[in-house]
Amino acid sequence: MKDKKVEKLIVAEKARQKKVVNLIASENYVSADVLKALGSESVNKYAEGYAGARYYGGNEVVDQIENLCKERALKLFGLDPKVWAVNVQSLSGSPANVAVYTAVLPLGAKIMGMSLDQGGHLTHGHKASVTGKWWKQIPYGLDKDSELLDYDELLKIAMLEKPDMLVMGYTAYSKIIDWHKMKMVADSAGAHVHVDMSHIAGLVAGGVYPSPFEYADTVMTTTHKTLRGPRSALIFSRIDDRKLYEKIDKAVFPGMQGGPHMNQIAAVAVALGEAAKPDFKKYAKQVVKNTKVLANTLAKKGWRIVSKGTDTHLFLVDTWMNGKGISGKAASDLLEQNGIIVNKNTIPFDVRSPMDPSGIRLGTAAETTRGKKEKDMIKTAEKIDKLLRS
């Protein structure tokens, strides 16, 4: 690069990523091909509108890129293009959720979403996000004893509050969601079913987590977590008389944004192609195996794993353990000083603050991409245990 200052920082970040053990549950390492697509000339193209109906000339190639990306997205999740549509232009997960709500709900409608401190996401109706200002969150959480979804309790909330939409899919829930039971909760209120599968999309694609599509009206996923693509988002919608896809397309453009990032869409297409390969199934399987070993080894060492374990790529550790342990911030800082990167995280019913909560969140999607196996997870768990005890 001619710009040596920026080049130095890029090289430094690459070196940092190489030398740490990355247990951030929402991160991953993209392939060289995904990077190449991101850095390609498609970045130069303005393409406001949708394939075949743009506001600028010169779109004959990027139209093909966008159509290929859509085709691969539907195919990866086994969706019939006569039954499901997909929008691939949303820049990332938060605006994608807002676009879905804008398309489906009137302002002020009720969104039943998991509270942030229980494992939900800001855009599931939290007050700090526009989703909690433009719509009203009906919060739900986990059962206090089991730290699992309590479907009977959710049913009671839904029948009482009659939400317009039920949002499911979380950022810190380690167990399998029973989509069928959640659909029954939504149906009890006549609510629209929206799934945010950002965290688990790669596991769904890899066949190690049940697919939510049978039960959903709309599904949003980011593409950069377990799915191992660039930062972006996909919005799937069921094709029926409601014409959700038309409303969603309009909500994304011109509702939320102008020109789509065509280099990003090209890179998503590459990642979706990679996720369709048999190797990706092996990867997803290994992610779950690694996570279970990491969690079980820490549990054996005496650390409390929230929800008593994991079926996915992530889990929460209660490091505070009612004052007998170490706070989440202190744990995260200490691990970082020793080359292990995690994030501090509230645990359900946390008595501490989000800035210094009782836990940390660990995930193995990134390290599994780097070829780590069960034996490496045991070593990592032993190192974490030793550091936290020190």
> Which residue among 66, 117, 164, 196 is the active-site one?
196
8-27 residues in contact with ligand DSN (CB under 6 A) are 26
* Residue 110 makes contact with ligand DSN by CB under 6 A: no
Is 196 within 8 Å of 172 (Cβ atoms)? no
Nearer to ligand DSN, 28 or 59 (CB): 28
- Least distance between ligand DSN and beta carbon 342 (Å): 11
Residue in the block written with tokens 């979380």? 170
Helix (H) or strand (E) holding 193: strand 192-196
Nearer to ligand DSN, 26 or 42 (CB): 26
- Least distance between ligand DSN and beta carbon 121 (Å): 6
Q: Which residue minimizes CB distance to ligand DSN? A: 26
**Closest by Cα among 152, 167, 153 to 113:** 167
**Which string of x and - marks every residue 64-103 that binds ligand DSN (by CB under 6 A)?**
-----------------------------x----------
- Least distance between ligand DSN and beta carbon 26 (Å): 3
**Residue 11, helix vs strand vs coil:** helix
Is 314 within 8 Å of 174 (Cβ atoms)? yes
The DSSP line for 116-151 is: GGGT--GGGT-TTSHHHHHSEEEEE-B-TTT-SB-H
Active site residue 222: yes
Distances (CA, A) of 185 to 112, 136, 159, 170, 270: 10, 18, 8, 17, 37
* Residue 169 makes contact with ligand DSN by CB under 6 A: no
Active site residue 225: yes
* Residue 171 makes contact with ligand DSN by CB under 6 A: yes
Paired strand residues for 221: 234
120-139 residues in contact with ligand DSN (CB under 6 A) are 121
Q: Which two tokens stand for residue 380?
A: 């990592």
> Which residue among 27, 29, 48, 187 is the active-site one?
48
Q: Which residues bind ligand DSN (CB under 6 A)?
A: 26, 93, 121, 171
